[in-house]
């Protein structure tokens, strides 16, 4: 892979340009590695092969080629274009196209970068690290106070209403994620056939031995089945809950990300299934899409009707014997309380546990006086406060036992 | 035989597959760098079709390995034909052959049952090997696959090492049921298959249904693009679009806006769950139709 072969293969591109492209390529690979792309030596070699095969002459040819080679997952796929433009459209490609004899309009902002060899070309002020909105990484960079244990401790007992600054929100995100990670699936007593099982499955072994003339040559094994605990969360996003709903949304987001089987619904005067929207990896984007999905946010509440809708349309699909239904609401209902009681009674017949999280229950002098709350209480397995992260964390051992 | 990008694009079109240009590049790179191609994307965007089209492009046989939970090396690679071996032993009992001779015979290639992976590397002409839904197989199988994909050889304990006669073009597809290992991802070229945009979907319709009106194809593509933006639990794929278009052509529809009730009733070609059908009410259909026209 010397300079001579580069110039031979790339045709018009001279030695100097070949070397320039190689140097740019090395820098680009480093940028990608810094952005958590899995780029190893093999990829580096193949990237140079591509550059020498003539892909290095035009950005429009190089971009899809490198994208196919260097990306490994959907997240990479989406970020690649921004990283590529930031790095290549600043300097490297301009040099190459000029030598190839096709003068092109220089990309905007070129002169800003041209003089500084150390700086990565960033014509539009695009940083090399493409920041994902709402990430802890992005939020922590300003001041070096990445939350230590003590800071997290403080947050855990802060009422969620009072958490407002972006750093703190990022920390809340991280805490919720960690919490949801702990609610993993449990083992059941049922067993199923697995190749690396603990015990020998006699029935399957004998059945399998028929093909070997009755000799049990292959031993079939079985192992306890892991059944994921399924969590179905119903979040009240009416006006009275508006101060909390953003945080509960993050909680839902964490659950959907880390609990293998989970479903999320929002309700106010009607019920909306939001799992697909929330599964969007980027929390900021998810919130954007949510605002489109859930019109009627912060309006009135019809808890009973919403739960009845859930029973009618979704319960058969999403609720099974090992499901915990978590309702997050303050219990202020504009519908009638009887309807709520009926809906909860029928939901109770289907599910393992109904947990009601009420942010107001954490207040010092709270008593469940709201008519809706009164009607719901007899049907709940757990009625718990959820005004801060500590109270959410206390749920974990409870959910683990289901 | 290395084809350049334009040639591949023409041949893909000839095979009835309308590719975007990035996919064309990826397919060229497969040959240039000798790497497998990993395709990811939602269900129904035509990942498997890529492999079929590629086999048509290179006029190579398509060998397909459908992955499932519990898939093991023997059903993917090779198996001994036990019944035949037993029969052979029985017949040789009378000949009085030495045990070694019998053993040498029954563990020869005649008694080997080829499974997809072995068939792919022993094929006389380079084949296209489609490893479908790799994310459904266990992690151990993935590791095993990695070994074959990097060395192109297989060791059969009774026979020794079998080297690849030809190196197949490998396409892996994944739906994202399980996170794949970094090692496998790094080994592969990567392409994220997205739902086609309106222009591409129009061309797909024209390629699949030669007798469709251009204006109808455009309208259908636009309508489907809008339906995909609705809040659905199962977003219709390309195959569904083609089905729907075929249905509309069969019913003699010329313009979508002319017969809204037919459109609404035939939406069952696109919407495959009850909740989706419930959420696409007549009003929603009419609103979307208004935008199409």
In chain B, which residue's Cα lies nearest the Cα of A45? Answer: B33
Say whether A213 and B189 touch across the interface (CB within 8 A). Answer: no
Q: Which residues of B touch A40 (CB under 8 A)?
A: 186
Interface test with B, best of A52, A72, A76 (most B CBs within 10 A): A72
For residue B46, pLDDT beyond 70 = yes
From B82, B192, B233, residue closest to A212, measured CB to CB: B82
Q: Tell me the CB-side half-sphere exposure of residue B228, using CA atoms within 13 A.
A: 20
- pTM of structure: 0.57
- Residue A223 vs residues A187, A201, A228: alpha-carbon distances, Å: 10, 9, 15
Q: What is the pLDDT of residues B86-110, one digit of tens each?
A: 888 888 888 877 888 888 888 888 8
With the CA atoms of B130, B132, B134 and B136 taken in that order, what torsion angle do they form, in degrees rounded to the nearest 10?
Answer: -160
Q: What is the pLDDT of residues A327-366, one digit of tens each?
A: 988 888 777 788 888 888 888 888 878 888 888 877 777 7
Say whether B33 and A46 touch across the interface (CB within 8 A). Answer: yes
For residue B147, pLDDT beyond 50 = yes
Nearest CA to A337 out of A311, A366, A303, A310 is that of A303
Q: What is the pLDDT of residue B38?
A: 93
Confidence of residue A161 (pLDDT cuts 50, 70, 90): low
From B33, B138, B190, residue closest to A49, measured CB to CB: B33
Q: What is the pLDDT of residue B62?
A: 94
Q: What is the pLDDT of residues A216-252, one digit of tens each?
A: 888 888 877 766 678 888 988 877 777 777 778 777 7
Contact B276/B267 with Cβ under 8 angstroms? no
Distance, in Å, from the CA atom of B158 to the CA atom of B164, rounded to the nearest integer, reads: 17
Of A86 and A111, more confident: A86
Within 10 Å of residue A88's Cβ, how many Cβ atoms? 24
What is the least distance, in Å, from the CA of A87 to any CA of chain B? 20
From A49, A74, A211, residue closest to B192, measured CB to CB: A74
Which DSSP letter does residue B210 get?
Answer: T
What is the least distance, in Å, from the CA of B200 to any CA of chain A? 18
Q: For A25, list phi and psi in degrees, rounded to 5.
A: -60, -45
Q: Mean pLDDT, to the nearest integer, of A123-139?
A: 38
Strands of the A353-358 sheet, one edge to the other: A271-273, A261-267, A230-236, A323-328, A353-358, A382-385
Say whether A196 and B186 touch across the interface (CB within 8 A). Answer: no
Say whether B22 and A64 touch across the interface (CB within 8 A). Answer: yes
Contact A124/A357 with Cβ under 8 angstroms? no
Distance, in Å, from the CA atom of A121 to the CA atom of A329, rounded to the nearest integer, reads: 50
Q: If contacts are CB pairs under 8 Å, which of residues 19-58 in chain A contact chain B?
A: 38, 40, 42-43, 46, 49-50, 53
Query: Could you tell me if A178 lies within 8 Å of chain B, comparing CB atoms?
Result: no
What is the least distance, in Å, from the CA of A43 to any CA of chain B? 8
Q: What is the pLDDT of residues B175-232, one digit of tens each?
A: 877 778 888 888 889 998 888 889 999 999 998 888 898 999 999 999 999 898 887 7
From B40, B70, B188, residue closest to A74, measured CB to CB: B40
Query: Could you tell me if A64 lies within 8 Å of chain B, comparing CB atoms?
Result: yes
In chain B, which residue's Cα lies nearest the Cα of A274? Answer: B231
Weakest-pLDDT range from A12-21, A179-188, B215-224: A179-188
What is the least distance, in Å, from the CA of A161 to any CA of chain B? 30
Q: For B179, list phi and psi in degrees, rounded to 5.
A: -70, 125
What is the least distance, in Å, from the CA of A66 to any CA of chain B? 9
Q: If contacts are CB pairs under 8 Å, which of residues 217-236 in chain B contact chain A?
A: 231, 233
Say whether B70 and A193 touch across the interface (CB within 8 A). Answer: yes
What's the 3-state SS for chain A? Answer: CCHHHHHHHCCCCCHHHHHHHHHHHHHHHHHHHHCCCCCCHHHHHHHHHHHHCCHHHCHHHHHHHHHHHHCCCHHHHHHHHHHHHHHHCCCHHHHHHHHCCCCCCCCCCHHHHHCCCCCCCCCCCCCCCCCCCCCHHHHHCCCCCCCCHHHHHHHHHCCHHHCCCHHHHHHHHHHHHHHHHHCCCEEEEEEEECCCCCEECHHHHHHHHHHHCCCCCCCCEEEEEEECCEEEEEEECCHHHHHHHHHHHHHHHHHHHHCCEEEEEEECCCEEECHHHHCCCCHHHHHHHHHHHCCCCCCCCCHHHHHHHHHHHHHHHHCCCCEEEEEECCCCCCCCHHHHHHHHHHHHHHCCEEEEEEHHHHCCCCCCCCHHHHHHHHHCCEEEECCCHHHHHCHHHHHHCC
Say whether B185 and A49 touch across the interface (CB within 8 A). Answer: no
Distance, in Å, from the CA atom of B220 to the CA atom of B255, rounded to the nearest integer, reads: 9
Q: Which residues of B touch A293 (CB under 8 A)?
A: 231
């Amino acid at each position: 892979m010397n300079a001579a072969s580069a110039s031979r293969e790339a045709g018009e591109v001279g030695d100097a340009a070949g070397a320039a492209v190689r140097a740019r390529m090395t820098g680009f690979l480093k940028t990608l590695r810094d952005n958590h792309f899995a780029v190893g030596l093999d990829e580096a070699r193949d990237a140079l092969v591509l550059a020498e095969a003539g892909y290095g002459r035009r950005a429009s040819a190089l971009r899809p080629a490198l994208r196919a080679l260097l990306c490994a997952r959907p997240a990479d796929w989406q970020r690649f274009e921004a990283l590529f433009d930031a790095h290549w459209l600043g300097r490297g490609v301009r040099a190459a196209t000029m030598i190839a004899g096709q003068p092109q309009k220089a990309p905007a902002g070129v002169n800003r970068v041209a003089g500084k060899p150390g700086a990565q070309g960033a014509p539009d002020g695009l940083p090399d690290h493409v920041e994902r909105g709402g990430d802890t990484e992005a939020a922590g960079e300003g001041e070096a106070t990445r939350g230590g244990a003590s800071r997290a401790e403080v947050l855990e007992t802060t009422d969620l209403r009072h958490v407002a600054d972006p750093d703190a929100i990022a920390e809340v995100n991280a805490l919720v994620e960690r919490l949801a990670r702990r609610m993993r699936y449990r083992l059941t007593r049922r067993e199923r056939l697995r190749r690396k099982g603990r015990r020998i499955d006699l029935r399957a072994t004998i059945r399998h031995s028929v093909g070997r003339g009755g000799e049990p040559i292959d031993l079939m094994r079985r192992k306890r089945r892991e059944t994921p605990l399924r969590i179905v969360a119903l979040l009240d996003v009416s006006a009275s809950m508006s101060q909390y709903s953003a945080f509960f949304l993050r909680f839902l987001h964490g659950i959907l990300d880390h609990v293998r089987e989970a479903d999320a619904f929002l309700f106010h005067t009607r019920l909306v299934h939001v799992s697909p929207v929330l599964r969007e990896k980027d929390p900021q984007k998810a919130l954007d899409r949510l605002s489109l999905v859930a019109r009627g946010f912060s309006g009135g509440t019809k808890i009973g009707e919403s739960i009845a809708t859930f029973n009618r349309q979704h319960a058969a699909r999403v609720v099974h014997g090992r499901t915990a239904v978590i309702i997050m609401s303050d219990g202020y209902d504009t519908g009638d309380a009887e309807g709520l009681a009926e809906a909860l009674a029928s939901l109770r017949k289907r599910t393992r546990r109904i947990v009601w999280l009420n942010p107001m229950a954490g207040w010092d002098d709270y008593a469940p006086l709201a008519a809706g709350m009164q009607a719901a209480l007899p049907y709940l397995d757990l009625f718990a406060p959820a005004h801060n992260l500590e109270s959410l964390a206390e749920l974990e051992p409870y959910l683990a036992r289901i | 035989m290395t084809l350049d990008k334009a040639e591949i694009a023409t041949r893909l079109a000839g095979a009835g597959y309308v590719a975007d240009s990035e996919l064309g590049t990826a397919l060229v790179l497969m040959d240039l760098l000798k790497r497998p191609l990993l395709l990811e994307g939602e269900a129904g965007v035509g990942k498997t079709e890529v492999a079929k089209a590629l086999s048509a492009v290179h006029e190579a046989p398509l060998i397909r390995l459908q992955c499932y939970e519990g898939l093991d090396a023997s059903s993917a690679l090779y198996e001994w034909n036990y019944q035949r071996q037993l029969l052979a032993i029985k017949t040789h009992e009378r000949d009085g052959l030495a045990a070694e001779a019998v053993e040498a015979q029954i563990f020869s290639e005649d008694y080997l049952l080829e499974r997809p992976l072995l068939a792919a590397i022993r094929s006389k002409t380079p084949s296209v090997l489609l490893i479908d839904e790799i994310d459904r197989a266990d992690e151990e199988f993935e590791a095993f696959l990695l070994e074959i994909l990097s060395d192109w050889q297989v060791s059969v304990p009774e026979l020794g090492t079998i080297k690849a006669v030809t190196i197949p073009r490998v396409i892996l597809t994944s739906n994202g049921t399980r996170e794949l290992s970094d090692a496998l991802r790094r080994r592969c070229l990567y392409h994220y298959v997205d739902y086609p945009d309106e222009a591409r979907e129009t061309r797909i319709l024209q390629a699949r249904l030669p007798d469709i009106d251009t204006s109808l194809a455009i309208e259908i593509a636009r309508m489907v693009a809008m339906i995909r933006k609705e809040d659905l639990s199962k977003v219709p794929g390309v195959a569904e679009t083609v089905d729907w278009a075929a249905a509309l052509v069969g019913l003699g529809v010329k313009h979508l806006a002319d017969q809204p009730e037919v459109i609404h009733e035939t939406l069952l070609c696109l919407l495959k769950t009850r909740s989706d059908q419930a959420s696409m009410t007549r009003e929603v259909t009419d609103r979307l139709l208004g935008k199409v026209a």
